[in-house]
Chains A and B, each alone.
Chain A
Amino acid sequence: MSSRLVPRSVARRTRIAPMVVLLAVGILLGGVGAVQAQSSGSGSIYSRFGVGELHGFSSSQSQALGGGAYALRSLNYNAAQNPALWSDQVYTRFLMSGSFRAVDVRDGDGREGLLQSGSLDAIHFSFPLYRRSLGVGLAFQPYSQSDFRVTRDGSVTLPSGTPAPYEVEFDGSGGLNLLRGGLGYKINETLRVGASADVLFGIRESRRTTRFTDPQQAGALRSAEVVDEVQLFGVTGTFGGHLAFRNVVQDEDALSIGLSVTLPASLSGERVQILEDEDPSTPNDTLRVVDGDDLRSDVDGDVTLPLRSRFGLSYQFDQRWTFVLDGEYGRWSDFSSSFDGVGQPRPFPVGGEASLDNRWRVSTGAEVVPGGDDRLASYLSRIAYRLGGYLEHAYVQPDPTEDVRVWGVTGGLSLPTPAAGTRIDLNGQAGRRGTTAGSLVRDTFYRVSLSISFGERWFQERKLR
């Protein structure tokens, strides 16, 4: 056997290089994700209301366990929704998650549509400052996403008496992004706390396009496109806590309690409406809207997002079995917006504040790793098998007489890799949103997610074993 001495710094760079590349790719993908958020328009019609469909990605483990797991500590994941969990880190970790989803929409009249889209769920980066005691976490992910497309047909009679069939397409895109950064700290073996600063920003676009469908007329009758764009920016904070108790029911078990609270966020922004002209020689018009006595091309305003609180329980029976039970509550009836439609064509959010209701969500899940922490067990035994489910009372209520409820089942596999600390997670989700009662629709959705969580030791001296 031959050996070659490699300077330690070179060896460290060699290990660090792939992570740096991945980080760069992640940032690039972050850009792609932001762009993608502006351009898809293939999700649920319910995302038209409020600030869009809320996203609460915490970790790929959480995703498979019903979406909660706010109390579950894991060296392989750093759950973003509870900063206290960032205190327990060994690896410098980079996670990237994307998903593909299909939504089958059906209304009370039996009409049906199929919408499909892909999106980036999250990019996380975290590292320990002091091993398993003080850690840093960074997350960039969607906070909400407006992602719908609806068409409506009609016909107008031209002055000549000729009917001109047309199609109006309504689509929404964009939403709020969350950039979260903070610290988690272990006070003692029982109590951990954490805090993060959350930057919320984004552009939400609602686009309405009227186009004439008769090819004979389409040349003379130009399409009309109006874009309603709301840009928002604001900062808030999230505080988390975690209590861990060992040997509760039996030896080596652990019971954890997690709690995190995201403070109300006051977002300021501006709203602008744009007429987009299909004639490239004509510049787009920015609509002038009445703001008081002034005619302006944009309107400034504020939006206040409500406090969101999360509570979780996790119970690790042994090295193999883990159970979680979680809840989340958002007081969306406190939501306020000054883009209330005065002098504007329609309010933001659609339907006004009255279309929002308090949101609650409960979820549960279980994970089993048949091989426990035995690294010599078979590969299949080292896979984590996860199953979960959730029930949610949505925060949007387009029809005041009907609640919009969402339920879903989740599951996933976490595949170990030869590199300790690196896992590939494949998750699935299926569920339903809404009802066909009244004018509402029922979404049946399916989602497949792929997450890669890389963990490597950075900034730490290697020790001979």
Chain B
Amino acid sequence: MTLRRIAAALLVGAVLLPLAACDTSTGVGADIGEDLEGGAPQAIDLVADSTTFGGVDIAAPVTGNTNPQRDWRVLVGRVLDPVAGEATADAYLDLAPARPIPDLVQAAPVDVLEAELILAPQYLHGDSTATVTVRLFDLQSNPDFEDARADQTFATALEVASYEVSAAEDSVVTLPLPDGWVRDNEGILRDTTGDASTFDEAFAGFKVQVSRSSAPTPSQPGAVVGFSTEDSRLELSRTDDTTSVATYPISQSFTHVSWQAPPAETEARRANRVLLRGGAPRALRFAFNFEEEARVDSLIGAPLNRVRLDVPFDTLAQRGTEAPEGFVRPRVDGYRLLMRRTDDPSIPDCESRQLGQLLTQTPESGLDPGDEEGRYCFLPTDLSELPERLSTPVLNNVVRESLQPEQPVVFESFRLEVTDRFSPAAEFSPAVPGVPTTAPVLIPIPGSPSDAQTELSIVATPI
């Protein structure tokens, strides 16, 4: 029995022996014989090819929204931005039926009814002291703003009224509708069936158009103001009892944006830079001479420690002093960065695991003429360093695939579009359109006298 106990104890000890390994890690012996090779990371930065770096025409950004639950905005106004040029924005709003309609409103004589379009300011581009003259139109027919792009327009019917709107963002804007408009529409406004289709057929919506009568000047640059569609609405109430209000929320909206050429006076500011403007059908395209870069050869097949694409923005050049005091230029809070896949059958699809299951551009999110579906992959972006820099840290898989022996480079070029986000860090995938904006950015052309370059930096450990 004693022997068995001893044997059992020894067996346990024997089992534990292999587990009793520990060490003080040491560099002693690293130089013996053939040096312990490799393992030293290399960092290379590939600056974007300046010869192909530039603007490219794309489909105008989507500025229509048919999801009333989503934070959205509409823009209206006219601004002469000293750097970016003149932007004109018109807002389109469609309403949903009021639920419920208070009895006092329902029973009120039409001549005591009043209607007001309440607009909640949220955005300003331009002179904060300016007054924007807007004209309110009924739309001619029931519109569909789904996937409507910034260069689209929708036909209007009669002008309802015109207003002077302050660009100051400190209070809501109230546009009282004429009594005649109330009389003409009181039937549908007080329709208690609650049938949205009936309401839609009877009420096409509004266009809030900035007056074209007076162009902005450098001294009076005007303004584009933005309103939250979630907080804006039409209110129907009684003049003799303001406690009873029927509220008609915004059901869908759209913003038309157009741009004029930037002023010649600030051309020097834009020299060696590419100008991107929110709402404009233009993006930045850039590429890297990946295959011609000799330094890349040493990284073929190498494990990647980090790959990062940086696009800098010249915020200093954007600030300038030409604008009068009080000129406000909004900060861009979002971008869309897309990678154009090389046209080669061996290149994995965007959604493949090799490329990190990237989203791909669909017709709904806007294909450029001549671009087949699936050619562009959306790259999630790191917006934490905005407004100076945009980065994407998710390129490891893309570059790793590009560095396989005898494999073509996965990406042919990149495309950067200006968007805007209310919640840059978490809101939506990069494939979702940003909210309408007229914010401009300047991006230095590689090789120009600027410290910041658009570059792909790779840290890899050669085999």
Q: How far is the CA of A32 from the CA of B41 in the complex (A)?
A: 36
Q: How far is the CA of A415 from the CA of B336 in the complex (A)?
A: 77
Q: Is A191 an interface residue, CB under 8 A from the partner?
A: no
Q: Is B39 an interface residue, CB under 8 A from the partner?
A: yes
Q: Is B455 an interface residue, CB under 8 A from the partner?
A: yes
Q: Separation in Å of the B145 CB from the closest CB of chain A?
A: 38
Interface residues of B (CB under 8 A from A): 2-4, 6-7, 10-11, 13-34, 36-45, 301-306, 353, 356, 393, 396-397, 400, 404-406, 455, 457, 459-461, 463
Q: How far is the CA of A148 from the CA of B23 in the complex (A)?
A: 10
Q: How far is the CA of A107 from the CA of B25 in the complex (A)?
A: 14
Docked-complex contact A170 and B39, CB < 8 angstroms: yes
Q: Separation in Å of the B33 CB from the closest CB of chain A?
A: 3
A152-B36, A283-B353, A422-B3 as given contacts; A117 in contact with B393, CB under 8 Å: no
Mask, A329-366, CB within 8 Å of B = 1, is 00000000000000001100011000100000000000
Q: Separation in Å of the A112 CB from the closest CB of chain B?
A: 6
Docked-complex contact B43 and A152, CB < 8 angstroms: no
CB interface residues, A 28-65, toward B, < 8 Å: 29, 32-33, 36, 40-42, 45-46, 48-49
Q: Separation in Å of the B156 CB from the closest CB of chain A?
A: 52
Q: Separation in Å of the B11 CB from the closest CB of chain A?
A: 6
Docked-complex contact B17 and A120, CB < 8 angstroms: yes
Q: How far is the CA of A107 from the CA of B396 in the complex (A)?
A: 40
Docked-complex contact B29 and A223, CB < 8 angstroms: no
Docked-complex contact B38 and A159, CB < 8 angstroms: no
Q: Separation in Å of the B400 CB from the closest CB of chain A?
A: 8
A164-B459, A225-B303, A226-B463 as given contacts; A29 in contact with B15, CB under 8 Å: yes
Q: Separation in Å of the B158 CB from the closest CB of chain A?
A: 58
Quick one: which of B22, B34, B463 contacts A351, CB cutoff 8 A? Answer: B34
Quick one: which of B23, B353, B460 contacts A224, CB cutoff 8 A? Answer: B460
Q: Return chain A residues, CB-CB under 8 Å to B305.
A: 210, 212, 221-224
Q: List 14 A-B contacts (CB under 8 A).
A: A40-B21, A113-B26, A113-B28, A151-B27, A156-B40, A159-B43, A208-B38, A212-B305, A221-B459, A226-B38, A226-B303, A282-B353, A283-B353, A295-B406
Known contacts A111-B28, A222-B306, A290-B405; 11 further A-B pairs (Cβ under 8 A): A114-B23, A118-B20, A151-B27, A152-B39, A156-B40, A210-B39, A220-B306, A224-B461, A282-B397, A355-B33, A450-B13
Q: How far is the CA of A11 from the CA of B286 in the complex (A)?
A: 87
The SS class assigned to the A binding surface is strand
Q: Is A440 an interface residue, CB under 8 A from the partner?
A: yes
Docked-complex contact B27 and A150, CB < 8 angstroms: yes
Q: Which residue of B lies closest to A448 (CB)?
A: B17
A-B pairs, top 3 by smallest CB distance, nearest first, are A113-B26, A398-B33, A168-B39
Q: Return chain B residues, CB-CB under 8 Å to A350.
A: 33-34
Q: Separation in Å of the A49 CB from the closest CB of chain B?
A: 7
Q: Separation in Å of the B306 CB from the closest CB of chain A?
A: 5
Q: How far is the CA of A41 from the CA of B25 in the complex (A)?
A: 10
Q: Separation in Å of the B446 CB from the closest CB of chain A?
A: 13
Q: Is A318 an interface residue, CB under 8 A from the partner?
A: no
Q: Return chain B residues, CB-CB under 8 Å to A346.
A: 34, 37
Q: Return chain B residues, CB-CB under 8 Å to A282.
A: 353, 356, 397
Which of B3, B356, B400 lies at the interface centre, i.e. has the most chain A CB atoms within 10 A of its CB? B3
Quick one: which of A111, A288, A345, A440 contacts B26, CB cutoff 8 A? Answer: A111
Docked-complex contact A149 and B14, CB < 8 angstroms: no
Docked-complex contact B10 and A452, CB < 8 angstroms: yes
- How many A-B residue contacts, CB cutoff 8 Å? 213
Stretch of A70-78, A98-106, A128-136, A236-244 with 4 or more beta carbons under 8 angstroms from chain B: A98-106
Q: How far is the CA of A222 from the CA of B33 in the complex (A)?
A: 30
Q: Return chain B residues, CB-CB under 8 Å to A164.
A: 41, 43, 459
Docked-complex contact A159 and B14, CB < 8 angstroms: no
Q: How far is the CA of A148 from the CA of B29 in the complex (A)?
A: 10
Docked-complex contact A112 and B32, CB < 8 angstroms: no
Q: Separation in Å of the B253 CB from the closest CB of chain A?
A: 38
Docked-complex contact B18 and A33, CB < 8 angstroms: yes
Q: Return chain A residues, CB-CB under 8 Å to B17.
A: 98-100, 118-120, 450
Q: How far is the CA of A33 from the CA of B7 in the complex (A)?
A: 19
Q: Return chain B residues, CB-CB under 8 Å to A285.
A: 400
Q: Return chain B residues, CB-CB under 8 Å to A212.
A: 305
Q: Return chain A residues, CB-CB under 8 Å to B356.
A: 282
CB interface residues, A 140-162, toward B, < 8 Å: 148-154, 156-160
A220-B393, A224-B461, A399-B33 as given contacts; A119 in contact with B18, CB under 8 Å: yes
Q: Return chain A residues, CB-CB under 8 Å to B45.
A: 159
Quick one: which of B32, B34, B40, B406 contacts A440, CB cutoff 8 A? Answer: B32
Q: Separation in Å of the B353 CB from the closest CB of chain A?
A: 7
Q: Is A464 an interface residue, CB under 8 A from the partner?
A: no
Docked-complex contact A452 and B7, CB < 8 angstroms: yes
Q: Return chain A residues, CB-CB under 8 Å to B36.
A: 150, 152, 168, 170
Q: Which residue of B lies closest to A277 (CB)?
A: B303
Q: Which residue of A lies closest to B25 (CB)?
A: A151
Q: Separation in Å of the A343 CB from the closest CB of chain B?
A: 10
Chain A interface residue number, banded: 35 or more
Q: Return chain B residues, CB-CB under 8 Å to A450.
A: 10, 13-14, 17
Docked-complex contact A115 and B24, CB < 8 angstroms: yes
Q: Is A187 an interface residue, CB under 8 A from the partner?
A: no
Q: Separation in Å of the B358 CB from the closest CB of chain A?
A: 13
Quick one: which of A118, A398, A417 contacts B6, CB cutoff 8 A? Answer: A417
Mask, A370-402, CB within 8 Å of B = 1, is 000000000000000000000000000011000
Docked-complex contact A115 and B26, CB < 8 angstroms: yes
Q: Is A410 an interface residue, CB under 8 A from the partner?
A: no
Q: Is A287 an interface residue, CB under 8 A from the partner?
A: yes
Q: Is A116 an interface residue, CB under 8 A from the partner?
A: yes
Docked-complex contact A159 and B455, CB < 8 angstroms: yes
Q: Is A27 an interface residue, CB under 8 A from the partner?
A: no
Q: Return chain B residues, CB-CB under 8 Å to A32.
A: 15, 18
Quick one: which of B19, B28, B29 contacts A118, CB cutoff 8 A? Answer: B19
Q: How far is the CA of A112 from the CA of B53 in the complex (A)?
A: 55
Q: Separation in Å of the B71 CB from the closest CB of chain A?
A: 31
Q: Separation in Å of the A140 CB from the closest CB of chain B?
A: 14
Q: Separation in Å of the B207 CB from the closest CB of chain A?
A: 48
Quick one: which of B26, B43, B303, B393 contacts A105, CB cutoff 8 A? Answer: B26
Quick one: which of A18, A29, A288, A439 contacts B405, CB cutoff 8 A? Answer: A288
Q: Return chain A residues, CB-CB under 8 Å to B37.
A: 345-346
Docked-complex contact A221 and B21, CB < 8 angstroms: no
Q: Separation in Å of the A45 CB from the closest CB of chain B?
A: 3
Q: Is A5 an interface residue, CB under 8 A from the partner?
A: no
Q: Is A267 an interface residue, CB under 8 A from the partner?
A: no
Q: Separation in Å of the B396 CB from the closest CB of chain A?
A: 8
A120-B17, A170-B36, A288-B404 as given contacts; A25 in contact with B11, CB under 8 Å: yes
Q: Which residue of B lies closest to A113 (CB)?
A: B26
A45-B32, A120-B14 as given contacts; A151 in contact with B3, CB under 8 Å: no
Mask, A200-227, CB within 8 Å of B = 1, is 0000000011101000000011111110
Q: How far is the CA of A92 from the CA of B185 in the complex (A)?
A: 107
Q: How far is the CA of A418 from the CA of B356 in the complex (A)?
A: 67
Q: Return chain B residues, CB-CB under 8 Å to A168.
A: 36, 38-40
A115-B23, A152-B27, A424-B6 as given contacts; A96 in contact with B43, CB under 8 Å: no
Q: Separation in Å of the B167 CB from the closest CB of chain A?
A: 40
A98-B14, A275-B303, A424-B10 as given contacts; A169 in contact with B34, CB under 8 Å: no
